[in-house]
Amino acid sequence: MKIKNSVSFNVDHSRLKRGIYLSRIDTMKDINTVTLDLRLRVPYKEDIISNKELHTFEHCFATAVRNMTEETDSVAVAYFGPMGCQTGYYLVFNTTESDEHRYFDMFYDILKKSCGYVKGMTEVPAKNELQCGNCYSLGETADAVKAAEELEELVDEMKQLGGFHKYSFIED
C-alpha cells in the first residue's frame, strides 16, 4: 500500500519563514474546511515554543477565536492547537464561503481580533482540573499575551503583503 503524503510533508521546511500560511482546503458538500498554519518559529533556526507557552496560548487563543466567530453564521472554528514539532499552531475553520478570494479578508479580521482579545485577558480560561487534563503545566496570561503579540506581528505583515505567506514545496 502506498501511503499518501500529507500536504504538510511536501512543504519544504528548510525554506519556511515565520508566517500565516493557508495549509489546505478540504471540501465536503457545502462545507469548506480551511486549515491555517500559524508558523511562529523558523524550524531548526529558532528555539521551539516551550510546552508552557504552547499550552497557555492554546487555552487563551482557542477561547478568543471561538468568541470572535460566535456571531457569524458562515464560519465556525473546528479546531485550534499546537503542532507536534512545537514551531506553531494549526487553526481549522469550517465555512460555507466558497469564494477563496474572500478567505484572506475573512481570516485576517478573525486573527486580528482574536489577538486583541487575548491581549486583554485577565485569566487563563479553563485552568483547573475539571476542564483541563494537565492544568499545572499552564502558565500565566503574560505567556499568552507574548504569543499573541508575536502572532499579531505576522498577521500585520500578512496584511501588508496582501495575501497569506507562501510555502515552498519539495519537488517530487
Which residues bind to Zn ion, rule: CB under 5 A? 132
Sign of the CA dihedral 43, 170, 83, 88?
Answer: positive
> Which residue lies nearer to Zn ion by CB, 19 or 82?
82
Provide the minimum distance between the beta carbon of 138 and Zn ion in the complex, in angstroms, as a whole number.
6
CA distances from 41 to 47, 88, 138, 151 (A): 7, 6, 20, 10
Question: How do strand 88-95 and strand 75-82 relate by DSSP bridges?
Answer: antiparallel
The residue number with the shortest CB distance to Zn ion is 132
Which lies closer to Zn ion via its Cβ, residue 43 or residue 81? Answer: 81
Q: In the structure grid, which three cell numbers stand for residue 141, read together? A: 496570561
Beta bridge partners of 94: 33, 76
- Complex with Zn ion: residue 18 or 127, whichever CB lies closer: 127
Comparing CB distances to Zn ion, the nearer of 14 and 131 is 131
Least Å distance between CB 88 and Zn ion?
18
Task: Give me the least distance between CB of 79 and Zn ion, in Å please.
Answer: 14
Residue with the three cell numbers 487553526: 91
DSSP state for residue 54 in the 8-state scheme: H
CB of 133 to Zn ion, least distance (A): 6
